[in-house]
Amino acid sequence: MKTNQITFDGELRQAAENAVIDLVQVQHEVDRSMITLPIWLPTGSAASVYIWRQGSHLRVSDGRETYLQAEEAGGQRSFAKQAAKLAEAAGLKYELGEIFLDGVSFDNVAGAVSIVAEVMKKAFDATAEKMAERRASELNDRLYLRLVDLFSPRAVARDVPFSGASTHEWHFGNMVSIGRQYTLFEYVGPAHISVISASAKFHDVKELDNPPRRAAVVENREELGDLVGVLARAANVIELGFGDAQYKRLVA
């Protein structure tokens, strides 16, 4: 009687085990252990979760490190709001900048570590998004003041609704009107989602029979890398610090 033998690929198994060792790291100190996970925060650092003993149970926490990173970026207030809301929804606690869960049994460490890490990332991602929105608003204000200085208050409108070929109504940060010539100006941040969102608006407007002129305003073209080409297919890409002549050329 013949039996089918299963041959395991030892090299494949070793490669998988080595990947786990590289991706997940554990460090032990006198009174705590730290697990670093392949979960990346907007700062580029990996999420680290700490474990302390509490008698017969454990505390699983981010050790306030997420808050400290948000504070370094100037987003500590926004982070505190996001972390408190998300921690409560996940059954965790947020106090004094720390996301944590007390009373964790030794059998449930993996689940607690996963939940704390997930809340850390969600809170920081939401904070980064709020900060980007605030930065975009501030730069659109700066752009408005510059356009007013160049073309007069009567020629410049803010937060302008404008429908594209799809008939969808978009909103642009600023619009300059000189006679019958309109030029839409929109600040675009370096984040991928910001570029894609602005490109969608500009492309839709570009498809009109008689489209207005379009200017995507960025802080630094180099920060966008090859995404500059994505924007350039639908609008002129200029930097906020470009000279007056370049702005006037777009409107003339």
pLDDT (tens digit per residue) in 43-83? 889 999 999 999 999 999 999 999 999 999 899 999 999 99
Q: Does 119 share its domain with 198?
A: no
Q: Which of 88, 106, 94, 95 is nearest to 33 (CA)?
A: 106
Angstrom distance (rounded) from CA 100 to CA 108:
14
Q: Residue 230 to residues 78, 183, 212, 221: CA-CA distances in angstroms?
A: 31, 19, 19, 12
Q: Does 49 share its domain with 122?
A: yes
CATH code at position 205: 3.40.1350
Q: Of the candidates 131, 160, 182, which is a domain's last residue?
A: 131
Residue 140 falls within a domain, yes or no? no
Residue 168 falls within a domain, yes or no? yes
Residue 30 falls within a domain, yes or no? yes
Give pLDDT tens digits along the chain (252 positions).
555 665 667 788 888 888 888 888 999 988 899 999 999 988 889 999 999 999 999 999 999 999 999 999 899 999 999 999 999 999 999 999 999 999 999 999 999 999 999 999 999 999 998 998 888 888 889 999 999 999 999 999 999 999 999 999 999 999 999 988 999 999 998 888 889 999 999 999 999 999 999 999 999 999 889 999 999 999 999 999 999 999 999 987
Q: Does 102 share its domain with 183?
A: no
Residue 20 falls within a domain, yes or no? yes
How many structural domains are present in the chain? Answer: 2
Residue 145 falls within a domain, yes or no? no
Q: Does 231 share its domain with 162?
A: yes
Residue 146 falls within a domain, yes or no? no
Q: Does 114 share its domain with 18?
A: yes
Residue 60 falls within a domain, yes or no? yes
Domain that holds residue 209: 152-251
Q: Does 120 share its domain with 42?
A: yes
Q: Does 157 share its domain with 77?
A: no
Which helix (DSSP H) or strand (DSSP E) does residue 178 occupy?
Answer: strand 169-178
| Beta-strand relationship, 213-218 and 181-187 | parallel
Exposed/middle/buried for 158, CB within 10 Å: 0-12, 13-18, 19+?
middle
Q: Does 196 share its domain with 158?
A: yes
Residue 124 falls within a domain, yes or no? yes
Record the tokens describing residue 2, joined without a space: 């013949």
Q: Of the candidates 131, 165, 183, which is a domain's last residue?
A: 131
Beginning with the edge strand found earlier in the chain, give each strand of the sheet holding 25-28 in spatial order: 25-28, 32-40, 46-54, 57-61, 98-104, 93-95
Q: Of the candidates 131, 160, 193, which is a domain's last residue?
A: 131
| Overall residue count recorded for the chain in this entry | 252
Q: Does 51 share its domain with 119?
A: yes
pTM: 0.74
Q: Does 16 share its domain with 126?
A: yes
Angstrom distance (rounded) from CA 33 to CA 30:
8
Q: Does 93 share its domain with 182?
A: no
